[in-house]
C-alpha cells in the first residue's frame, strides 16, 4: 500500500514538474534540445514525420522519475534504448538517411554547433543539415590519415614573421563614420540589446 | 557590337590619352549597355551612374589640362561586391549587409581611383563568396551570356558575366578556391589569381583569410596584366602583403613566346569526372604549346588528390571565424531587437535571417572542425596536408617552369543542376584549389568551346610563388596562337549578344 502511494506521489510530482517546465501539457510534447532552450518545431513522440527522423525520448526527467521515463521511452520509440541514452541526456534524436542508415551527426550535435555559431535554427533545418554535413565530413575525413605523422602544419602559404610597422600614431576613423551603418545608436555609441537573458 | 564596347581596355586607354574619344562618352556607352542588358544578365547589383560620369569628366579635364595620365585612366571597370567602396552599398550578395555603405574604401578600390579608372558599379557573387555558380547570391543568380540557362561560374560570376556581356572591359574579382579562374573558364574570359599577398586584402570582405586573394579579370591577357599592375603591390594595412615589387606582368603578356619553357601537365588533374570537351580542348592547347616551342613534361602531384578535402576543412574553419563578426551589433542586419530580447538571442535571430543556407552550412562545418576533440583529426590534419600539397608544388617546379591543367572539370552547367549534390558543386574547384592552398600564382585562359555544348573551356597556368609573370607569358602566347587559328578572339563567337538587351 505504502509502495503504491509512494509511486503515485512520484508520478504526480513528475507530471507537475514537467507541466511547469513546459515539457508536457495540452498539445504536442515539446522536445528539449541539448541546448536547453530553442523550442523549434514540435513533434509528437514516436511518430515519424516522414522526414527520416525517428524520434526517441524527448523529455528531461528528474532523476526520480527515471524508471517511468525508461518505460515510456521504450514504448514510444518502438525500439531499444538503453539506460545510458536516457539517463542524463536531453535528447536522442536518431537521424537516418534515405537508406535508413544511421548518420554520424545527430540533430543534437548540429543543434549544439548552431548554438556555438549563434545561429537560430529550427528542428527541421537542423534535421536537414545533419545528413548534408555528414556527406561533407565523410569526404573530408580522408585528411585524417596524416594526423599521426610528424609533418609541420601550414597555416599561411607564404610564411611571414614579425611584420611590424613603426609605433607612430596615425589618424583613425571618426566615431560618426563608424556609427553610420549601425543598427541602433545612442549617445555616439552602439546601442546593444540587453546582455543578460531573462533566465540569467 | 558597338566599337567602343568591343574595344580592349588598352585601346580605350589610348583613345582617352590621345583625346580621340572622351572618357565621358566611353563611360556613357557602357552605362547604357548595362542598363539595357542587366535585367537579363543580372551581373550588376548596383550601378553608380552619376559618380562614374563625374569621374570620367574629371579624367577628360585632366587630359585637357595637359597632365600625364596613368596607363588605364578613363577606362571603366566593374568591381565585385566584396570590395568596400564608399560610393555604393557593399553587400557581399547577402541580406546580412543589404544596403550597407562602407565608411572606407578597400586598398584595391583606392588604387583604381588613384589610377583614374571609372568604377561603373558592383557585381554579383555567391553569398560571401561561397559557391561556384553565383546561385547562392541573395539577390538572384547571374546568367552566363553564352547561354542564359547556364551559370556564369562562381563566386565571381557577376564580374565574368559583365565582361562576356561587354558591359565592362575590366573587372575585379577575389579567388579563395577558384572564384576568379572558374568563372573566367566558363565564360571564355581571362582571370588571374596573383601570388598570395600580391594584392592587398584590406577592405575586402574576408572569407578565408589564408586563402583569399583579389585579382584582375578581363577579356584578353594584356588587359588583365595592365589591371594586375594597378591592383597589386605592398600595402602596410595588410600584414600578409608581400614587400616586393610586382613581377613585370605586362611585359610578360606582350612577350608572346614560350620557346624553351618547360610546361608540366599535372597527372592528377584530369581523367574521370572531366567532361570530354574540356579534356579535348586541353589536349589540343598543350599540343599547341608544344608546337610553339615549349617542352611538355608529365608531372605527378599525388597530394593534389587530397586538396579538395583539405580546402573544405580549412576554408569553413576560417569562414566560421571570419563571419563571427556579423552579429547584428555594429553593422548589418539586426533582427528581433524589441527591447526585451537578449543580445545573444538577437545575434542568433539576426544571423539566421541574414545568412543563406550555404553560408550557414559552411559556418557550422567550420565550427565542428575547430571544436574541442575534433581539432586534430580535422583542422590540424588539414594543415599538415596543406604542407604536403605545397611540397608537391615545390618538387613539381624543379621539373618545370609552370604547371598546366584544365581550369575546371566541366563547362558551365545549367541552373539547379548541382544545387542538390553538394560534392558535385564543390568539385568544380578541383583544379583551382591547390594554388590557393600553396599560395602560388595561377590564371585561366580561354582555349575554345567544348564540342558537346559549345560552351567555353579554360586552361589553367600555375606558376611558382612570386612568378606571376610566367602565367601571363604562357597565356599571352596561347592567346595569339589561338586567335590566329580561329581568325579572331573567342568571344566573337558568343551567340546573339543582342538578345541580352531588354526591349524598351
> DSSP string covering B388-407, please?
HHHHHHHHHHHH-SEEEEES
Q: Number of C-alpha atoms within 13 angstroms, CB side, residue B104?
A: 16
Interatomic CA distance for residues A26 and B364, integer angstroms:
35
Contacts of B316 (CB under 8 A, 6+ apart): B362, B363, B365, B366, B369
**Closest residue of A to B351, CA-based?**
A119
How is residue B205 written as a grid cell? 570582405
pLDDT in tens, B408-453: 999 999 999 998 888 899 999 999 999 999 999 999 999 999 999 9
In a domain, B201, yes or no: yes
Residue B290 has pLDDT above 70, yes or no: yes
Residue B146 has pLDDT above 70, yes or no: yes
Q: How confident is the model over B219-223, as a mean pLDDT? A: 98
Phi then psi for residue A87, to 5 deg, are -70, 125
**Domain extent at residue B155:** 9-304+387-501
Residue B263 has pLDDT above 80, yes or no: yes
B107 touches B237 (CB < 8 A):
yes
Helix (H, G, I), strand (E, B) or coil at B89: coil
Helix (H, G, I), strand (E, B) or coil at B500: helix
| Burial per residue of B450-470, b for 16 or more beta-carbon CB atoms within 10 angstroms, e otherwise | beebebbbbbbbbbbbbbbbb
In a domain, B25, yes or no: yes
Helix (H) or strand (E) holding B80: strand B76-80
In a domain, B361, yes or no: no
How is residue A58 written as a grid cell? 524527448
Q: What is the mean pLDDT of chain A?
A: 66
3-state helix, strand, coil in chain A (%, to 5): 40, 5, 55
From the candidates B132, B155, B241, B444, which is the catalytic residue?
A: B155
Interatomic CA distance for residues B286 and B299, integer angstroms:
14
Q: How far is A98 from chain B (nearest CA, A)?
A: 14
Smallest CA-to-CA distance from B253 within B403, B482, B7, B471 is with: B471
**Closest residue of A to B306, CA-based?**
A143
In a domain, B455, yes or no: yes
**Closest residue of B to A197, CA-based?**
B342
| Residue B386 to residue A154, Cβ atoms within 8 A | yes
Helix (H) or strand (E) holding B484: helix B468-486
In a domain, B199, yes or no: yes
B209 touches B319 (CB < 8 A):
no
| Across A34-43, A146-155, B169-178, B300-309, least confident range | A34-43
Residue B293 has pLDDT above 90, yes or no: yes
Residue A60 has pLDDT above 70, yes or no: no
Residue B445: DSSP 8-state: E
Question: CA quadruple B32, B37, B39, B45: dihedral positive or negative?
Answer: negative
A31 touches A56 (CB < 8 A):
no
State how far the alpha carbon of B295 is from the alpha carbons of A42, B261, B298, B395, B441, in Å. 66, 6, 10, 18, 21
Q: How far is B291 from chain A (nearest CA, A)?
A: 34
In a domain, B316, yes or no: no
Residue A63 has a pLDDT of: 41
Q: How far is A196 from chain B (nearest CA, A)?
A: 6
Share of chain A above pLDDT 70, in %: 52
Residue A18 has a pLDDT of: 59
Q: Taking phi first (over 0 means left), then psi (-120 to 50 degrees means alpha), and beta for anything else, what does residue B343 get?
A: alpha
From chain B, the residues in CB contact with A160 under 8 A are 197, 239-240
Cα torsion through B179, B180, B185, B186, rounded to 10: 50
Residues 308-327 of B with CB under 8 A from A: 308-310, 312-313, 320, 324, 327
Q: How confident is the model over B49-54, as a mean pLDDT? A: 98
B121 touches B162 (CB < 8 A):
no
Cα torsion through A185, A189, A191, A196, rounded to 10: 180
> Where do the H-state alpha helices sit in B101-149?
107-114
Interatomic CA distance for residues B128 and B358, integer angstroms:
10
Share of chain B above pLDDT 90, in %: 94
Interface with chain A: mutation pick from B102, B312, B332, B384, highest number of A CBs within 10 Å: B384
**Closest residue of B to A177, CA-based?**
B103
In a domain, B332, yes or no: no
SS (H, E, C) A32-96: CCCCCCCCCCCCCCCCCCCCCEECCCCCCCCHHHHHHHHHHHHHHHCCCCCHHHHCCCCCCCEEE
Smallest CA-to-CA distance from B428 within B440, B414, B418 is with: B418
Interatomic CA distance for residues B133 and B182, integer angstroms:
9
Interatomic CA distance for residues B73 and B112, integer angstroms:
9
Residues 159-198 of B with CB under 8 A from A: 195-197
Interface with chain A: mutation pick from B312, B353, B385, B466, highest number of A CBs within 10 Å: B385
| Residue A181 to residue B100, Cβ atoms within 8 A | yes
Question: CA quadruple B409, B410, B411, B415: dihedral positive or negative?
Answer: negative
pLDDT in tens, B240-250: 999 999 999 99
pLDDT in tens, A106-138: 999 999 999 999 999 999 999 999 999 999 999
Q: Is residue B155 among the annotated active site residues?
A: yes
A28 touches A44 (CB < 8 A):
yes
B191 touches B78 (CB < 8 A):
no
Residue B55 belongs to domain with CATH number: 3.90.1300.10
In a domain, B356, yes or no: no
How is residue B55 written as a grid cell? 569621374
Q: How confident is the model over B12-33, as a mean pLDDT? A: 97
- Residue with the larger pLDDT of the pair B156 and A144: B156
Residue B374 has pLDDT above 90, yes or no: no
Residue A99 has a pLDDT of: 55
DSSP output for B332-389: S-----SSSSBHHHHHHHHHHHHS-HHHHHHHHHHHHHHSTTTTIIIIIHHHHHHHHH
| Residue A143 to residue B313, Cβ atoms within 8 A | yes
Cell 585612366 identifies what position?
A: B73
Helix (H, G, I), strand (E, B) or coil at B148: coil
Diameter of chain B measured on Cα atoms: 73
Phi then psi for residue B161, to 5 deg, are -70, -35
Q: Is residue B360 among the annotated active site residues?
A: no
From the candidates B179, B350, B435, B444, which is the catalytic residue?
A: B179
Interatomic CA distance for residues B345 and B339, integer angstroms:
12
Q: Is residue B80 among the annotated active site residues?
A: yes
Contacts of B4 (CB under 8 A, 6+ apart): B12, B21, B25, B26, B29, B30
Q: How confident is the model over B51-79, as a mean pLDDT? A: 97
For chain B, the domain total comes to 1
| Residue A119 to residue B352, Cβ atoms within 8 A | yes
Residue B118 has a pLDDT of: 98
Residue B502 has a pLDDT of: 66
| Residue A118 to residue B347, Cβ atoms within 8 A | yes
Interatomic CA distance for residues B500 and B151, integer angstroms:
15
| Residue A140 to residue B382, Cβ atoms within 8 A | yes
Residue A27 has a pLDDT of: 43
Amino acid at each position: 500500500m505504502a509502495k503504491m502511494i509512494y509511486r503515485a506521489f512520484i508520478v504526480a510530482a513528475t507530471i507537475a514538474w514537467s507541466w511547469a517546465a513546459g515539457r508536457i501539457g495540452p498539445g504536442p510534447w515539446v522536445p528539449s534540445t541539448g541546448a536547453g532552450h530553442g523550442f523549434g518545431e514540435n513533434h509528437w513522440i514516436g511518430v515519424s514525420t516522414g522526414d527520416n527522423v525517428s524520434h526517441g525520448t524527448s523529455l528531461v526527467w528528474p532523476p526520480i522519475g527515471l524508471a517511468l521515463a525508461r518505460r515510456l521511452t521504450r514504448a514510444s520509440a518502438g525500439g531499444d534504448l538503453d539506460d545510458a541514452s536516457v539517463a542524463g541526456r536531453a535528447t536522442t534524436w536518431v537521424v537516418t538517411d534515405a537508406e535508413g542508415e544511421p548518420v554520424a551527426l545527430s540533430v543534437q550535435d548540429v543543434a549544439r554547433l548552431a548554438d556555438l555559431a549563434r545561429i537560430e535554427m529550427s528542428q527541421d533545418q537542423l534535421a536537414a543539415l545533419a545528413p548534408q554535413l555528414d556527406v561533407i565530413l565523410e569526404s573530408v575525413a580522408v585528411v585524417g590519415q596524416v594526423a599521426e605523422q610528424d609533418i609541420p602544419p601550414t597555416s599561411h602559404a607564404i610564411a611571414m614573421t614579425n611584420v611590424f610597422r613603426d609605433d607612430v600614431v596615425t589618424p583613425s576613423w571618426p566615431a560618426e563614420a563608424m556609427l553610420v551603418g549601425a543598427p541602433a545608436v545612442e549617445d555616439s555609441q552602439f546601442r546593444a540589446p540587453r546582455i543578460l537573458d531573462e533566465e540569467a | 557590337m558597338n566599337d567602343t564596347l568591343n574595344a580592349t581596355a588598352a585601346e580605350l586607354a589610348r583613345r582617352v590619352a590621345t583625346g580621340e574619344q572622351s572618357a565621358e562618352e566611353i563611360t556613357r556607352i557602357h552605362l547604357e549597355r548595362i542598363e539595357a542588358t542587366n535585367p537579363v544578365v543580372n551581373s550588376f547589383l548596383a550601378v553608380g551612374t552619376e559618380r562614374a560620369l563625374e569621374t570620367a569628366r574629371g579624367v577628360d579635364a585632366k587630359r585637357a589640362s595637359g597632365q600625364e595620365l596613368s596607363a588605364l585612366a578613363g577606362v571603366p571597370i566593374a568591381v565585385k561586391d566584396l570590395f568596400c567602396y564608399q560610393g555604393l552599398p557593399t553587400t557581399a550578395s547577402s541580406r546580412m549587409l543589404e544596403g550597407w555603405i562602407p565608411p572606407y574604401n578597400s586598398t584595391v578600390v583606392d588604387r583604381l581611383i588613384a589610377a583614374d579608372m571609372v568604377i561603373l558599379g558592383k557585381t554579383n557573387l555567391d553569398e560571401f563568396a561561397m559557391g561556384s555558380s553565383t546561385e547562392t547570391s541573395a539577390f538572384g543568380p547571374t546568367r552566363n551570356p553564352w547561354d542564359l540557362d547556364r551559370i556564369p561560374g562562381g563566386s565571381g560570376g557577376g564580374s565574368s558575366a559583365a565582361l562576356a556581356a561587354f558591359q565592362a572591359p575590366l573587372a575585379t574579382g577575389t579567388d579563395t578556391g577558384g572564384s576568379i579562374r572558374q568563372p573566367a573558364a566558363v565564360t571564355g574570359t581571362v582571370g588571374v589569381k596573383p601570388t598570395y599577398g600580391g594584392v592587398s586584402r584590406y577592405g575586402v570582405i574576408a572569407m578565408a583569410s589564408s586563402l583569399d586573394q583579389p585579382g584582375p579579370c578581363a577579356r584578353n591577357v594584356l588587359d588583365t596584366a595592365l589591371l594586375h599592375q594597378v591592383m597589386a603591390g605592398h600595402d602596410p594595412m595588410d600584414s600578409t602583403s608581400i614587400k616586393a615589387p610586382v613581377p613585370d606582368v605586362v611585359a610578360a603578356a606582350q612577350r608572346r613566346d614560350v620557346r624553351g619553357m618547360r610546361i608540366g601537365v599535372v597527372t592528377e588533374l584530369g581523367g574521370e569526372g572531366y567532361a570530354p570537351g574540356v579534356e579535348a580542348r586541353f589536349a589540343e592547347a598543350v599540343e599547341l604549346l608544344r608546337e610553339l616551342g615549349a617542352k611538355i613534361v608529365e608531372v605527378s602531384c599525388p597530394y593534389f588528390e587530397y586538396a579538395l578535402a583539405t580546402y573544405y576543412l580549412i576554408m569553413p574553419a576560417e569562414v566560421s571565424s571570419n563571419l563571427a563578426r556579423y552579429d547584428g551589433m555594429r553593422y548589418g542586419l539586426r533582427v528581433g531587437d524589441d527591447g526585451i530580447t537578449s543580445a545573444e538571442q538577437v545575434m542568433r535571430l539576426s544571423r539566421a535571417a541574414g545568412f543563406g543556407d550555404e553560408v550557414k552550412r559552411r559556418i557550422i562545418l567550420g565550427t565542428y572542425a575547430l571544436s574541442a576533440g575534433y581539432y586534430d583529426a580535422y583542422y590540424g590534419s588539414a594543415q599538415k596536408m596543406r604542407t604536403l600539397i605545397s611540397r608537391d608544388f615545390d618538387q613539381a617546379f624543379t621539373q618545370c617552369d609552370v604547371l598546366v591543367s584544365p581550369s575546371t572539370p566541366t563547362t558551365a552547367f545549367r541552373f539547379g543542376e548541382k544545387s542538390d549534390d553538394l560534392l558535385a558543386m564543390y568539385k568544380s574547384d578541383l583544379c583551382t584549389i591547390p594554388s590557393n592552398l600553396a599560395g602560388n600564382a595561377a590564371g585561366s585562359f580561354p582555349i575554345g568551346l567544348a564540342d558537346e555544348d559549345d560552351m567555353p573551356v579554360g586552361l589553367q597556368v600555375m606558376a611558382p610563388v612570386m612568378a606571376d609573370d610566367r602565367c601571363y607569358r604562357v597565356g599571352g602566347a596561347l592567346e595569339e596562337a589561338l586567335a590566329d587559328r580561329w581568325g579572331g578572339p573567342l568571344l566573337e563567337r558568343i551567340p546573339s549578344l543582342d538578345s541580352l538587351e531588354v526591349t524598351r
